[in-house]
A and B are shown apart, each in its own frame.
Chain A
Amino acid sequence: MWKQRNMWIVQGLDVDLKHILISSWSWASSIKHCFVPSAVVVALDVMGRWLGGVGKILEDVVSSRRNFERFMMPLCCLGMINGILLLLKRIMPKPLQQSRTNLLHYRQLIVSHDAVVLGTALNERILSSLLSVHRLKVLHMDRNEYYGGEPTSLNLIQCNCMMEMQESPRTPVVMAQLSWFFGIATIVKLLLIPSYHSTDLEVHRHWLAITHSLPLSQWYTDETSEWTLDYPPFFAYLECFLSMFAHLIDPQIVHLHHGLNYKANSAIYFQRMSVIVSDLFLLYGVYRSTLALASLKRNLIWLLVIWSPGLLIVDHLHFQYNGFLFGWLLLSLSFLAQGRDVMGGFLFAVLLCFKHLFAVAAPVYFVYLLRHYCRGGLVRGFARLSVMGAIVVAVFAAAYGPFVYHGQIQQVIRRMFPFGRGLCHAYWAPNFWVFYIMLDKGIFFLLRKFGFNIPAPVASFTGGLVGDASPFAILPRVTPLTTFIMVLLALSPCLFRTWKDPRPRLIVRSVAYAYTCGFLFGWHVHEKASLHFSIPLAIVAVESLEDAKHYFLLSIGNASSLLSLC
Chain B
Amino acid sequence: MKKKGEMKKVKKVKDKVNDGQDDDPWWWLVQEGIRPSFLCISLFALLVRVAVGLHPYSGAGTPPKFGDYEAQRHWMETTLNLPSKDWYRNSSVNDLSYWGLDYPPLTAYQSYVHGVFLKTFDPDSVALFTSRGYESYLGKLLMRWTVLSSDVLIFFPAVLYFVLVYRSMRFGMGQNSDVAWHIAMILLNPCLILIDHGHFQYNCISLGLTIAAIAAALSQKDLVASVLYCLALNHKQMSAYFAPAFFGYLLGKCLRKKNPLLEVTKLGLMVIGTFAVVWWPYLQSKDAALAVLSRLAPFERGIYEDYVANFWCTSSVLVKWKKLYSTQSLRIFSLAATFITCLPSMVQQILAPSSKGFLYALLNSSFSFYLFSFQVHEKSILLPLLPLTLLALEESHSILWLTHFAMFSMFPLLHRDKLVLAYMALYALFILVYFAPCGPGGRCHGTKTLDNTQKTKRSVDFITSITFHPLVMGFLGLCSLILHVIYLTMHPPNKYPFLFEAVIMLICFSQFVLFTFYFNSKQWMLSKHLTSKDKQKKLI
Interface size for B (C-beta < 8 A) is 49
**Given known contacts A43-B43, A51-B50, A291-B17, A190 and B28 CB-to-CB distance under 8 angstroms:** no
> Is the pair B9, A339 in contact by a Cβ cutoff of 8 Å?
yes
Complex CA gap A184/B421 in Å reads: 15
**Given known contacts A57-B121, A187-B429, A295 and B13 CB-to-CB distance under 8 angstroms:** no
Which of A89-97, A112-120, A165-173, A211-219 contacts the other chain? A165-173
> Is the pair B32, A32 in contact by a Cβ cutoff of 8 Å?
yes
Name the contact of B40 in the complex, choosing from A16, A22, A43, A46 (C-beta under 8 A).
A43
Q: Does A146 contact B (CB under 8 A)?
A: no
Q: Does B54 contact A (CB under 8 A)?
A: yes
Complex CA gap A183/B431 in Å reads: 10
A-B interface pairs (CB < 8 A), number: 134
Complex CA gap A296/B14 in Å reads: 16
**Given known contacts A56-B138, A191-B52, A36 and B40 CB-to-CB distance under 8 angstroms:** yes
Which of B19-27, B318-326, B408-416, B459-467 contacts the other chain? B19-27
> Is the pair A339, B16 in contact by a Cβ cutoff of 8 Å?
no
Q: Does A391 contact B (CB under 8 A)?
A: no
> Is the pair A292, B16 in contact by a Cβ cutoff of 8 Å?
yes
> Is the pair A46, B437 in contact by a Cβ cutoff of 8 Å?
no
Which residue on chain A has the smallest CB distance to residue B142?
A53
Q: Does B454 contact A (CB under 8 A)?
A: no
**Given known contacts A19-B19, A36-B28, A188 and B9 CB-to-CB distance under 8 angstroms:** no
Closest Cβ–Cβ distance, residue B448 to chain A (whole Å):
15
Interface range, A side? 35 or more
Proximity bits, A312-348, B CB within 8 Å = 1, else 0 = 0000000000000000000000000011100000000
> Is the pair B47, A188 in contact by a Cβ cutoff of 8 Å?
yes
Which residue on chain B has the smallest CB distance to residue A48?
B50
Q: Does A44 contact B (CB under 8 A)?
A: yes
Closest Cβ–Cβ distance, residue B259 to chain A (whole Å):
48
Q: Which residues of B contact A57 (CB under 8 A)?
A: 121
**Given known contacts A164-B22, A187-B429, A174 and B40 CB-to-CB distance under 8 angstroms:** no
- Chain B interface main SS type: helix
Name the contact of B13 in the complex, choosing from A32, A40, A50, A291 (C-beta under 8 A).
A291
Proximity bits, A182-220, B CB within 8 Å = 1, else 0 = 011001101111110000000000000000000000000
Q: Does B44 contact A (CB under 8 A)?
A: yes
Closest Cβ–Cβ distance, residue B185 to chain A (whole Å):
15
> Is the pair B432, A187 in contact by a Cβ cutoff of 8 Å?
yes
Q: Which residues of A contact B481 (CB under 8 A)?
A: none
Q: Does B55 contact A (CB under 8 A)?
A: yes
Q: Does B452 contact A (CB under 8 A)?
A: no
**Given known contacts A176-B437, A180-B437, A39 and B40 CB-to-CB distance under 8 angstroms:** yes
- Chain A interface main SS type: helix
> Is the pair B43, A40 in contact by a Cβ cutoff of 8 Å?
yes
**Given known contacts A292-B13, A303-B28, A340-B6, A50 and B51 CB-to-CB distance under 8 angstroms:** yes
Complex CA gap A275/B9 in Å reads: 35
Proximity bits, B52-66, A CB within 8 Å = 1, else 0 = 101110000000000
Q: Which residues of A contact B6 (CB under 8 A)?
A: 339-340
Q: Which residues of A contact B22 (CB under 8 A)?
A: 164-165, 168
Central interface residue in A52, A165, A300, by most chain B CB within 10 Å: A52
Closest Cβ–Cβ distance, residue A192 to chain B (whole Å):
6
Q: Which residues of B contact A339 (CB under 8 A)?
A: 6, 9
Q: Does B339 contact A (CB under 8 A)?
A: no
> Is the pair B44, A43 in contact by a Cβ cutoff of 8 Å?
yes
> Is the pair A174, B17 in contact by a Cβ cutoff of 8 Å?
yes
Q: Which residues of A contact B13 (CB under 8 A)?
A: 291-292, 338
Closest Cβ–Cβ distance, residue A171 to chain B (whole Å):
7
Q: Does B303 contact A (CB under 8 A)?
A: no
Closest Cβ–Cβ distance, residue B153 to chain A (whole Å):
16
> Is the pair A294, B23 in contact by a Cβ cutoff of 8 Å?
yes
**Given known contacts A180-B436, A295-B20, A338-B9, A187 and B425 CB-to-CB distance under 8 angstroms:** yes
Name the contact of B27 in the complex, choosing from A50, A180, A296 (C-beta under 8 A).
A296
Interface of A toward B, CB cutoff 8 Å? 16, 19, 22-23, 28, 32, 35-36, 39-40, 43-44, 46-47, 50-53, 56-57, 143, 164-165, 168-171, 173-174, 176-177, 180, 183-184, 187-188, 190-195, 291-296, 299-300, 303, 338-340
Can you list 22 pairs linking A and B with CB atoms under 8 Å apart? A23-B20, A40-B36, A40-B43, A43-B47, A50-B51, A53-B141, A53-B145, A56-B138, A168-B18, A170-B18, A170-B21, A171-B14, A176-B437, A177-B25, A187-B428, A188-B47, A190-B424, A191-B48, A291-B14, A294-B20, A295-B23, A338-B9
CB-CB nearest 7 A-B residue pairs: A168-B21, A191-B51, A190-B425, A43-B43, A295-B23, A53-B141, A292-B13
19 other contacts beyond A173-B21, A191-B422, A303-B28, with CB at 8 A cut-off?
A: A19-B20, A23-B23, A36-B36, A39-B40, A43-B40, A43-B44, A47-B46, A57-B121, A169-B437, A170-B18, A171-B18, A174-B17, A184-B429, A187-B48, A191-B51, A192-B54, A291-B13, A295-B20, A338-B9
